[in-house]
Chains A and B, each alone.
Chain A
Amino acid sequence: MEFDIIVKTVTKYWPMFIRGAGVTLLISIIGTIIGSIIGLLIGVIRTIPMPERGFRKIILKVINTILSIYVEVFRGTPMIVQAMVIYYGSKQALDIDMTPLLAGIFIVSINTGAYMAEIVRGGIISIDKGQFEAAHAIGMSHIQTMLNVVLPQVIRNILPATGNEFVINIKDTSVLNVIAVTELFFQTKSVAGINYRYFEAFFVASVIYFVMTYTVTRILRYIERKIDGPENYILYANQMQVETPEDALMREQKYKGSI
């Protein structure tokens, strides 16, 4: 019976599954973090106001072009192909011998970076122009404006998209098995190769993948709510009450009820 075999697979091979899940999480977390940093940097660079003329304009144009190519290429090709090209390319053409794990982290990071760059750019563009103008008007530089005013708002706004990237990464690191990264898919294949029980092994893997993505989704949602903070604030002196939307809603309902 399959259920028996599933239990047996788990009890016998659980260290392999756990190690695989660990590698999957490690690569996805580091990849998402580095990718987000890349995305933020690129987003900031690509929104630097273009100088009207001069050397700086040329440099900025060249950098922007390179960044656009990077974003387009990595968004336009499958990660599984990127993995092969980068892993074997660095070995054969550049004579760099990366471990599969390092190569995996590298690939996921730059792949995520390409997606995050667009997400960040969208986030920056959607911030009200007045925020930039007010910051510039009190004398802030582009970097100061970004760090103190714009990016905190952007990060809050793109948090759902970032969480989404993280969840995608947990699932998509499975393609790294082609370069022998010992993540969950690779480990599951190994387990199945030992006892030839493909369905049972991959059933276990699918449960683990789902638990990981579901947990991450919940945690991120919790963080989002935390960042939004309490809707009401404490008045310095308790002379006036400012209504929260919830309060307003309740008052309205009460009012309607009394009619």
Chain B
Amino acid sequence: MEKIIDIQHLSKTFGTNEVLKDINFSVNKGEVVSIIGSSGSGKSTLLRCINLLEKPTGGKIFFKGEDILDDKHDIRAYRAKLGMVFQHFNLFNNHDVLSNCMVGQIKVLKRSKEEAREVAMKYLKVVEMEKFIHAKPHQLSGGQKQRVAIARALSMDPEVMLFDEPTSALDPEMVGEVLKVMKELAGLGLTMLVVTHEMGFAREVSDRVVFMDKGVIAEEGTPEEIFNNPKLERTREFLKRTLEQN
């Protein structure tokens, strides 16, 4: 299988705080990988290192075989190939729904307005937000915002989608609509890396589950392996704690 993202010995420190320690893992094309772990374990930092919102302190990241930490690598072109969905949506406040999904295509991918609009509409239909194209972000509910944010990322036709706890900031009744969209995307064969606290999603949708603890990948495996047969005591404890909360 083709490795689309390959991470080797990745580390990240903030000051003296070692947040990521010797991370090694890879994502194959078409794979859905969920990252679980308690808060503060470094999940967001890992995602943010992958799209270089944070600069790794050490190690290597390969994207389709290319070393993206190489100084000569075009960071912006690389970022355009990764779609990022944030916990707090981060829709562009000064753009309406349609424009949120078009501006990146026009400015970064240099697509024509017509093409950008067509692509944006296609993905807004996927997330069922095509009726709200003229709404500004502040007029939408959290669930609607997150679905637009997903459409915005998809509109760049990325090769990998990164999700950082996409449902954590939502009211409980809106979690479902966002997870439904993400399940659909997984069904379409999109490569997805999802940081999530939704154990149901991780279990049903992902091909592989990664459990992070204190800056290291403690355990990884198929959902069955992680959820039914965790090898480590701390994985068991984390799952027990999380499932009790839900």
Residues of A within 8 A of B (CB): 52, 128, 130-131, 133-141, 144, 148-149, 152-153, 156, 229, 232-237, 239-240, 242
4 interchain residue pairs of minimum CB distance: A139-B80, A130-B90, A134-B90, A138-B104
In residues 106-133 of chain B, which contact A (Cβ within 8 Å)?
107-109, 130-133
- Given A233-B136, A236-B131, A236-B133, are A138 and B79 neighbors across the interface (CB < 8 Å)? yes
Contact B103 A148 (CB under 8 A): yes
- Min CB distance A193 to B, Å, is 52
Q: Is the interface of A mostly helix, strand, loop or mixed?
A: loop
Q: Contact: B90 with A139, CB < 8 Å?
A: no
Give the residue name and chain of the A residue nearest to B91 (CB).
A134
- The interface size of chain B toward A, counting residues with CB under 8 Å, comes to 38
Closest CB of chain A to B44's CB: distance in Å?
A: 11
CB distance from A114 to the nearest CB of B (A): 27
- Taking CB as reference atom, which chain B residue is nearest A130? B90
Interface string of B46-87 (1 = CB under 8 A from A): 000001010100000000000000000000111110111010
Q: B135 an interface residue at 8 Å Cβ cutoff?
A: yes
Question: A131 touching B92 by the CB < 8 A rule?
Answer: yes
Q: Return 14 A-B CB contacts under 8 Å, by A number.
A: A128-B93, A130-B90, A134-B84, A137-B84, A138-B156, A139-B78, A140-B76, A148-B92, A149-B103, A153-B93, A156-B94, A229-B136, A233-B136, A233-B139
| Contact A239 to B86, CB < 8 A, known contacts A141-B76, A233-B136 | no
Is B236 in contact with chain A by the CB < 8 A criterion? no
Report how far A134 CA is from B152 CA in the complex, Å.
Answer: 10
| Contact assessment for B131 and A237 in the assembled complex, using a CB-CB cutoff below 8 Å | yes
Contact A136 B79 (CB under 8 A): yes
In the complex, which residues of chain A have a beta carbon less than 8 angstroms from the beta carbon of B51?
Answer: 137
- Contacting A242 at CB < 8 Å: which of B88, B92, B108, B135? B135
In angstroms, how far is the closest chain B Cβ from the Cβ of A135? 7
Residues of B with C-beta under 8 A to A135: 92
Contact of A144 (CB < 8 Å), options: B83, B89, B107: B107
* Partner of B76 from A139, A229, A235 at Cβ < 8 Å: A139
B217 CB-CB contact with A under 8 Å: no
In contact, A131 and B134 (Cβ under 8 angstroms)? no
Which one, A152, A237, A240, contacts B94 given CB within 8 A? A152
Partner of A140, one of B89, B95, B104, B131: B104
